[in-house]
Amino acid sequence: MKIAITSVTKDKESVIDERFGRCNYFAIYDTESKSFEHVENKGVTSSQGAGIAAGQQLLDCGVEAVITGYVGPNAIRVLQGGNVAIHKFTGKSIQEEINLFLDNKLEKINEAGPAHAGMQNRNGRA
Amino acid sequence: MLECKTEMEGHNMQIAVLSGKGGTGKTTVSTNLAKAMGWQYVDCDVEEPNGFIFLNPKITKTEKASIPVPKIDPIKCVGCQKCVKICQFNALAWVNRDVLFFDKLCHGCGACSLVCRYNAISEVDREIGNIDVGNDGEIACLRGTLDIGEPMAVPIIRNLKKMIGNENTIIDCSPGSSCTVVASIEGVDYALLVTEPTAFGLHDLKIAIELVRNMNIPFGIIINRASDEKDLIEEYCEKEKINVLEKIKFDKDIAVLYSKGRMLVEHDKYKDLFLNIGKRIEEEVSCNLL
Ligand code: SF4
Ligand code: SF4
């Protein structure tokens, strides 16, 4: 089974990125080979729909579970539609979060965090 | 300057009024200028159109504004995913052997239906807002209103601009410098940048100036809520050789008119001021036409 963790940098010691759609990398852990692969998040370069692009990318990689902080409503639709379980990280290292996940100790995310968590205010209005 | 005047005949000007940020008095300037000059008023600030509150026109017609969005026939769809790949707006996803459509992200560009070789995509209209047509007895007024929570402002602005009649027109743009502003000012003859003499005002003004310069639109500045002293905006404009068309000083008369929801041009002093602004714009535009 493949588990994707939203990651700030490209190594397995990286801190976890709280944002799903706008994270820099996905650390994809394969429970069979017990190894990591890091892929750039395609959503990061999207002007809109980052979470959808990111979700699509993970589905295309065959990921079955995600560990992250906040997921927007569109990304939830993509991930849940693809039967990917979404889990909330607890602030530990990537490896520890994976262990917690495998022990079934991570909380599931069923509801969207704030949409456009990574987006600036759109115009001059406060 | 005045000798340029004759060139104006037969040419209808479109003048965009913009501001780097909200709350500078952009709508006050737009509506009063339109009223003083007898120019058509078009509210392109579709997320928060409020020019009609001041002009209070009689609305004669309301049209729905919509964009064409894809409708996918699951029976004809073979799952080639071409539509998902072509959509640059991430409005389509391929999930669990189905095309998933995110209507709020769709710009209605039509690319997906073009690439589908299986005829599985047809286009249907999705309503995004309204366009109101009216007049206040003297000037023609148009207003676009985006539905609440609707992100697609650009298509409604394009629709609105297509409805602009063959006459001199004031286009009231949304604050900021987003793509909605770009759509609003595309092709205008002149831009009027409204700002106020504060550090924030100057900061946002610089962004607006960069935008209109990039788009090659001649422009001038109006400093609102000004005082008699020379302020930081004037200093900046002097240095940059930018035209300050007018300083509108904040005084008791403005406050009183404003609090009653009245137009400033109801007061002779301001009527003259806006007539003067309008004439200066006419001169500038006619000289640019040479
Ligand atoms: S392009 Fe047409 S056939 Fe291919 S996935 Fe999209 S809708 Fe289906
Ligand atoms: S019309 Fe354009 S934006 Fe809308 S789904 Fe199709 S390709 Fe994407």
**CATH number for B210:** 3.40.50.300
User: Is the residue at B87 inside a domain?
Assistant: yes
Q: How confident is the model at residue A30 (pLDDT cuts 50, 70, 90)?
A: very high
User: Does residue A114 or residue A83 have the better pLDDT?
Assistant: A83
A64 touches chain B (CB under 8 A): no
The pLDDT value given to residue B24: 83
Using the Cβ of B96 and the Cβ atoms of chain A, whether some distance falls under 8 Å is answered with: yes
Same domain, B6 and B111: no
Lowest-confidence region among A36-45, A106-115, B39-48: A106-115
- Nearest by Cα to B140 from B199, B203, B58: B58
Strand order in the sheet with A25-30: A35-40, A25-30, A2-7, A65-68, A85-88
The mean pLDDT of A21-32, rounded to a whole number, is 96
CA of B29 to the centre of ligand 2 (A): 38
Measured CA distances, B232 to B153, B176, B200, B202, B223 (Å)? 34, 20, 11, 8, 10
- Determine, yes or no, domain membership for B131: no
Cβ neighbours of B198 in A, within 8 Å: none
Q: Is the pLDDT of residue A125 over 70?
A: no
Nearest CA to ligand 1 atom 8: B77
Mean pLDDT of B240-250: 91
Q: Which helix (H) or strand (E) holds B72?
A: strand B58-72
pLDDT of residue A123: 40
What would the pLDDT profile of B181-231 be if each residue is shown by its tens digit? 999 999 999 999 999 999 999 999 999 999 999 999 999 999 999 988 889
Interhelix angle B252-259/B268-289, nearest 10 degrees: 100
Q: For B105, which of A49, A82, A83 is closest by C-beta distance?
A: A49
Please write the tens of the pLDDT for every residue from B128-158. 999 999 999 889 999 999 999 888 899 999 9
Answer whether residue B104 is part of any domain. Answer: yes
- CA dist A6 and B188 (Å) reads 45
- Mean pLDDT, to the nearest integer, of B161-183? 90
Does A77 sit within 8 Å of B100, measured CB to CB?
yes
**Any idea which of A100-104, B8-12, B98-102, B277-281 has the lowest mean pLDDT?**
B8-12
Domain A2-119, classified CATH 3.30.420.130, yes or no: yes
B192 domain-assigned: yes
Do B90 and A50 lie within an 8 Å CB cutoff?
yes
pLDDT band at A118 (very low <50, low <70, confident <90, very high): very low
Question: Is there a domain that residue B132 lies in?
Answer: no
Q: What's CA B51's distance to the chain center, in Å?
A: 12
Residue B263 placed within a domain: yes
Residues B102 and B241 in one domain: no
Q: Which of residues 187-216 of B touch A (CB under 8 A)?
A: 204
Is A41 within 8 Å of chain B by CB? no
Please tell me the predicted confidence (pLDDT) of residue B8: 54
Atom of ligand 1 nearest to the CA of B76: 3
Pick the residue whose CA is nearest to atom 6 on ligand 2.
Answer: B112
B30 pLDDT tier (thresholds 50, 70, 90): very high
Quick check: A114 pLDDT over 90?
no
Size of the A and B interface in Cβ pairs below 8 Å: 67
pLDDT attached to residue A115: 60
How many structural domains is chain B composed of? Answer: 2
As a whole number, the mean pLDDT across chain B is 91
User: What CATH number is given to the structural domain containing B86?
Assistant: 3.30.70.20
Q: Does residue B58 form part of some domain?
A: no
Confidence class for position A116, pLDDT limits 50, 70, 90: low
Residue B83 CB less than 6 A away from ligand 1: yes
Query: Comparing C-alpha atoms, which of B229, B172, B228 is closest to residue B41?
Result: B172
- Nearest CA among B183, B124, B127 for reference residue B154: B183
Structural domain that includes position B21:
2-39+167-288
B126 torsion bin: left (phi>0), alpha (psi -120 to 50), beta (else): beta
Mutate which of B77, B112, B115 for ligand 2? The one with the most ligand atoms within 8 Å of its CB, which is B112
| Amino acid A124: pLDDT | 37
- Confirm or reject: Cβ of B118 under 6 Å from ligand 1: yes
Q: Determine the average pLDDT of the residues in A107-120.
A: 67
Residue B122 lies in a domain: yes
Under a CB-based contact definition with an 8 Å cutoff, are residues A20 and B55 in contact? Answer: no
CB A42 within 8 A of CB A53: yes
Nearest to B124 by CA among B103, B138, B105, B140: B103
B22:A49 CB<8 A: no
- Measured in angstroms, the CA of B156 and the nearest CA of chain A are apart by 17
Residues of A in contact with B98 (CB under 8 A): 81
Q: Does A54 touch chain B (CB under 8 A)?
A: no
Q: How confident is the model at residue B286 (pLDDT cuts 50, 70, 90)?
A: confident
